[in-house]
A and B are shown apart, each in its own frame.
Chain A
Amino acid sequence: MIKLAFYGKGGIGKSTAASNVSAALAQKGLKVMQIGCDPKADSTIFLHGGERIPTVLDLVRKGESFDLEDMVRVGYNGVVCVEAGGPVPGLGCAGRGIIAALEELEKKGAYEKYQPDVVIYDVLGDVVCGGFSMPMRKGYADKVFIITSGESMSVYAAANIAMAVENFKSRGYASLGGFILNKRNVKNEEEKAAELAADFHSSVIAEIDRSELVSEAEDIRKTVMEAFPDSTAAEQYRALADKIAELCGMGEEK
């Protein structure tokens, strides 16, 4: 089993990339589990037809006993979808919520039951507190992939995340797998991303062009991989999935 996490500035396209990578890996016949670590609980939404699913914390909050099946939806091509969820907006602690949800998932034996080949943690925003570093801790993701555009705020957030990964090296946390450039067509975008990656002795492992097909696919509640499998955009996500698989040593594992 390989485990990886997507991090990056809010709204940069992490969930879109994660869902399309999940779909691409599932098309190859791999068993994929995608865990959305965001109180908005919309990471996996286009992998199961746009239906809102009960989050782990929704079920915990109810205080009644529940089974693993209650917090899991099996979506496109068998992708196992989970949403951690979060506290009531404006209250509680979202970071602690991520910890509680991931612990609950482990306690219910999710990894043993579904035996995924790949687990993808889709983590919101920046590593703002201990809770949001949970998916990169020992026992969770082995590699962190950071999504950025060439926009300054996105590069800044990506650098912060990369620094956190660097700081946690001595703790045996996840290592940096690389940067993914999700293009917004700003000036010198490739150069900025390459410079950022070089600062952390890493590389830009894939470039995803801005595509209208992403929103067109979302309009019909699907990923690009499902809605437009022969498009250039799908090809780029497929290439990204292949690169991630290679960097995580997936071929060696299989």
Chain B
Amino acid sequence: MNAKVISIYAADTSGVCSALYELGGMTVVHDASGCNSTYATHDEPRWYDRKSMIYISALTEADAVMGNDSKFIRDVAKAAGELSPKFIAICGSPMPAMTGFDYSAAAEEIERETGLTTFFVDTNGTHSYLQGAEGAFLNIAKLFCREGKEKQANSVNIIGATPLDFSVNTSVSSIKKWLLDNGFSVQSCFAMDSSLDEISTAPQAAVSLVISSDGIAVAKYLFDTYGVPYVVGVPVGKSFSKKLSADLKRAVSEGVCINSCGEKAVENAHMIVAGESVFASSLGAELGAKTVATVGIRNSEVLSGTDIFCEEEAELEKLFSQHKTVIADPLFRPICKVASFVSLPHVAFSGRCFLKDIPDLIDKDVSKKLNL
């Protein structure tokens, strides 16, 4: 995102930490000491209530300059020996990216030394949280998902759940409840309130529900490898959630993948919804509002022909000025000078600043919830 006034989205490293937070692994960010509060507190609302093995390697300038990779490998292996995690994930920051640190080789050496499944997620601190979370989810799927004996009828994988997109309010449990109310069961959830064991059974699901851009790659992997079709959309509002439920049923019976939130045509709308592609597109579908995706997938896998992807502050400001109402994270407000602004906080954009104001819109009357 190119921004002068507004905020920017959380970085790829935060996405990795958030995606793997509850899975019992050890996540190590190769970065200078002092940076862990970025990943672990500013971007992580679970930090004070729930334990997780997230560490920073405390990379020093001397180690970076001298290529002291063995120290990193030794420290990670030693810590893993004491903590016995279910896996080790390593990811990086700008400094090792500049020195060309070889994560793949380091992961192999750590795995050889510890006997624990070790993988790396290609991050350097300059991409969005969605890229990091996507890489983390994909590694988990490839390394831990195994085909079970039989498919579970009407069971659903929820893919793309992190507090960066869904906070720690009741949204994710509401998605699960909504699925149950509509005759489905939950096979797994990548990756909130779901164990690694549950996630390893994802290939047995009848269908996957992608609720964020970071879930598309895993959904495609499960479809290509195990034939599990997927549907894209967040069940926000009463009307769109009804469509999403029907699409899930059709995906199960016909084995097809459906971009539910992208199946809309919104012309001449007076309202804009801005935010992560899948969520904004879903809310746009519910409200008949124009979707302006500001982070995430930018093509027809998620967006419709009338949706827009825009990450330029000046262009966003212009777009906002051409509409009567803008629904977006409060940190977009400074560039919304004409339209009426409706606040919808997003942790990946404003961190913990507006945590208590994030509503649960799942299967609810959205207009009422947002006071439209």
Contact = CB atoms under 8 A, between A and B. Distances in A.
Interface stretch (B92-100, B297-305, B312-320): B92-100
Given A96-B97, A129-B99, A130-B99, A170 B109 contact: yes
Max chain A C-beta neighbours (<10 A), residue from B98, B100, B108: B100
B101 interface: yes
B123 to A, nearest CB: 13
B67 interface: yes
Nearest to A131: B100
B105 interface: yes
Interface stretch (A10-18, A132-140, A224-232): A132-140
A99 B109 contact: no
B67 A130 contact: yes
B242 to A, nearest CB: 39
Contact of A130 (B101, B104, B109): B101
Chain B contact residues: helix, strand, loop or mixed: helix
Interface residues of B, number: 11
B67 A173 contact: no
Q: How large is the interface on A (under 10, 10 to 19, 20 to 34, 35 or more residues)?
A: 10 to 19
A87 to B, nearest CB: 12
Given A130-B67, A170-B109, A171-B109, A138 B99 contact: no
B109 A133 contact: no
A105 to B, nearest CB: 16
A37 to B, nearest CB: 12
B223 to A, nearest CB: 22
Interface in A162-221: 168, 170-173
A199 B179 CA distance: 68
Contacts of A96: 97-100
A130 B108 contact: no
Interface string A92-129: 01011001000000000000000000000000000001
Interface of B: 67, 97-102, 104-105, 108-109
| Top 5 A-B pairs, shortest CB-CB distance | A130-B100, A171-B105, A131-B100, A130-B99, A99-B100
Interface of A: 93, 95-96, 99, 129-131, 133-134, 137-138, 168, 170-173
